[in-house]
Amino acid sequence: MGVSPGVAIASGFVLETEEYRIPRRTITPDEVPTELKRLDHALAESQDELEKLRTDAVDQLGAETASIFDFHLGVLRDRSLIEQIHRTIADKCYTAEYSVTTVLRGHARAFLQMSNSVLPERARDIYDLEKRLLRHLLGERRETIEHLTEDVCVLAHDLTPSQTALLARSRVRGFATDVGGRTSHTAIVARALSIPAVVGVSDISRDVASGDTVIIDGNRGVVIINPDDLTREEYNRHIREYQELEHELEELASLPAVTRDGVQITLMGNIEFPHEVASVMEKGGDGIGLYRTEFLYLGSETEPTEAEHLTAYTEAIQAAGGKPIVFRTLDLGADKWSQARRSEPERNPFLGLRSIRFCLQHLPLFRTQLRAILRASVKGDVRVMLPLITSTLELRQAKIIIGDVMEDLEEEHIPFNRDVKIGIMIETPSAALTAATLGKEVDFFSIGTNDLVQYTLAVDRTNERVAPLFTPAHPAVVKLIKDILKAGRRQGIGVSLCGEMAGDPEYTILLLGLGLRTFSMTPPRIPQIKRVIRAVSLEKAAKISRRVMTFDSDRQILNYLREETRRIAPKAL
């Protein structure tokens, strides 16, 4: 799937991810002694760690509980196993990392196939040992994207959000991953940074060697390894054509987003970092409709302080120059930050302790952020948005905490805007179906279609295997959006849409026809959506939306919308 448009041609750079999915790499015979030495060092370091863990466990938990480490130590001291890894390095000329993975996973599979009910559990111990050894091996020469000296196309099994957060400060010109979906956070950041990206490419991280020439075609969802001269020439032409299109769209930045019948539409930007505010303004944005504040956490190993929150928020507010900026409170959990820090990650984190649920169970963390947002509220047009609200109880709990933080700031004589607007994201069917009730207690709604589609259709939005099933064009999703907009109008509150659907020109006319008047998207998409808005009247959009409501399949809806968009705004798609 192409998830971020554009074309990049550069040397491939294979990134070994945090999950330690190790690509097969060969070495020369001359390098074998070095690899054996690295392996022995990792084995020694791992044994020292486990001995310390066992000693600590004896002191704190007793000898019986501490005996769980005996199996781990026994494996690391098993001469036949170690000799097998040595032979894999020496005879097959594989790296130490790949040899460890190959041998240990073979043993884990053997345990899984045993009928004894206890032995399959040992497979988990083997996987744990594998990670421990790899951590020491990769710690010596782990590939990172922080210190690149040349332009590259990154190939990886996956990019964690924290790795993706580093892309802005690197020389990455494009990337492709084995897994992922259109609305994964990696894809969202790629679009925000205008980096061509393709995801769900199966074994691309195994098929490419660092140094291979790679073409990333984010428009068509294609990755080409070591292209011939004719292919390179063709793609260089595509790059020139794309640059010309970008130049045309830049000319729209200074023009208003007004429909053909004179209705002003608000176009705002979704950002992850304060410096992106400038990009929103350059593209003609009317403010920031979604500031994803959790990226303060993803780029750091430690929890940010109140001062660090305030510094980042103040920078963004000043860059906005008086235009509104909506701060979404922390959306941690699911595939972000907190899962990597759990000793036992949740089995289904997207249905687990995430977003507002996470914050309500981690009040010091939540209060720290709220204090910073409220302190920043005197510096500009600041609004607070609560994510993944599913009930009035959650909403009221969050508002009580906001009220408590306000009282604390008053007692400390710290200025803030007591009338700051508070809104919620509508991104679950439960919130959509009770929008009329929720609307009585907030100042605005923002429809988060990424999660709304996921939860409505029961489709994991980061899973490439079910990617074709993830579509905002499903009749159920369209009906929910229509009902949310209607509830907002009846309550007299503003409704925006900040999911990836807002930045997709295929849906612009439909959303206008359903009654949406505020869109929020990644900055590069703003001129493209503005082009569609300026080409259509609301009367025509309403007629198209009424026709869409008669269709019973996403394929019918999408084909019809594409046909109408191409007819009304030919260059938009």
* Model confidence at 141: pLDDT above 90: no
* Model confidence at 24: pLDDT above 60: yes
Structure tokens at 129: 């040992």
Structure tokens at 17: 């991810």
pLDDT score recorded for residue 20? 54
* Model confidence at 131: pLDDT above 80: no
**Is there a contact between 309 and 373 (Cβ–Cβ < 8 Å)?**
yes
**Three-class SS of residue 263?**
coil
The DSSP result for 334-399, as a single string, is TTBTTGGG-SS--SSGGGSS-HHHHHHH-HHHHHHHHHHHHHHGGGS-EEEEE-S--SHHHHHHHH
Given pLDDT bands bounded at 50, 70 and 90, which one contains residue 68? low
For the segment 477-493, the average pLDDT, to the nearest whole number, is: 97
Higher per-residue confidence, 231 vs 139: 231
Using one digit for the tens of pLDDT, what is the confidence trace for 248-301? 888 888 899 999 999 999 999 999 889 899 999 999 999 999 999 987 776 566
pLDDT score recorded for residue 479? 98
pLDDT score recorded for residue 61? 53
Q: How are beta strands 421-426 and 444-447 bridged, if at all?
A: parallel
For the segment 407-422, the average pLDDT, to the nearest whole number, is: 97
**Three-class SS of residue 224?**
strand
**Averaged pLDDT of the chain:** 87
Using one digit for the tens of pLDDT, what is the confidence trace for 529-564? 999 999 999 999 999 999 999 999 999 999 999 999
For the segment 403-430, the average pLDDT, to the nearest whole number, is: 97
Structure tokens at 74: 């026994």
325 contacts: CB under 8 Å, gap ≥ 6 = 277, 287, 288, 291, 316, 317, 380, 381, 382, 383
Spatial distance between the Cα atoms of 322 and 351, rounded to a whole number of angstroms: 37
Place of tokens 């769209």: 249
pLDDT score recorded for residue 130? 83
pLDDT score recorded for residue 467? 79
- The percentage of residues in the chain with a pLDDT greater than 90, rounded to a whole number, is 57
Residue 245 CA: distances (Å) to CA of 84, 528, 563: 57, 10, 21
Given pLDDT bands bounded at 50, 70 and 90, which one contains residue 114? low
Spatial distance between the Cα atoms of 161 and 265, rounded to a whole number of angstroms: 32
* Model confidence at 73: pLDDT above 90: no
Spatial distance between the Cα atoms of 389 and 296, rounded to a whole number of angstroms: 22
Given pLDDT bands bounded at 50, 70 and 90, which one contains residue 178? confident
**Domains along the sequence of the chain with CATH:** 2-16+145-247 (3.50.30.10), 29-141 (1.10.274.10), 251-568 (3.20.20.60)
* Model confidence at 174: pLDDT above 70: yes
> Which of 202-216, 249-263, 487-501 has the weakest average pLDDT?
202-216
* Model confidence at 205: pLDDT above 80: no
For the segment 299-322, the average pLDDT, to the nearest whole number, is: 90
**Three-class SS of residue 135?**
helix
Q: How many residues does the chain have?
A: 573
Using one digit for the tens of pLDDT, what is the confidence trace for 80-109? 899 999 999 999 999 998 899 889 878 877
- Annotated catalytic residues are 185, 498
* Model confidence at 18: pLDDT above 50: no
pLDDT score recorded for residue 339? 41
For the segment 384-409, the average pLDDT, to the nearest whole number, is: 97
Higher per-residue confidence, 339 vs 368: 368
**Is there a contact between 322 and 285 (Cβ–Cβ < 8 Å)?**
no
DSSP code of 15? Answer: E
For the segment 402-429, the average pLDDT, to the nearest whole number, is: 97
* Model confidence at 304: pLDDT above 80: yes
pLDDT score recorded for residue 345? 58
Q: Taking phi first (over 0 means left), then psi (-120 to 50 degrees means alpha), and beta for anything else, what does residue 93 get?
A: left
| Cα maximum dimension of the chain | 80
- Side-chain half-sphere CA neighbours of 530 within 13 A: 26
**Is there a contact between 191 and 198 (Cβ–Cβ < 8 Å)?**
no
pLDDT score recorded for residue 434? 97
For the segment 210-238, the average pLDDT, to the nearest whole number, is: 91
Residue 482 CA: distances (Å) to CA of 192, 367, 501: 27, 34, 14
Spatial distance between the Cα atoms of 423 and 290, rounded to a whole number of angstroms: 12
For the segment 343-364, the average pLDDT, to the nearest whole number, is: 81
Spatial distance between the Cα atoms of 518 and 516, rounded to a whole number of angstroms: 6
Residue 75 CA: distances (Å) to CA of 106, 131, 252, 366: 14, 14, 65, 43
pLDDT score recorded for residue 168? 59
- Per residue, what are the HEC states of 70-94? HHHHHHHCCHHHHHHHHHHHHHHCE
Spatial distance between the Cα atoms of 176 and 537, rounded to a whole number of angstroms: 39
* Model confidence at 324: pLDDT above 60: yes
* Model confidence at 344: pLDDT above 60: no
pLDDT score recorded for residue 75? 87
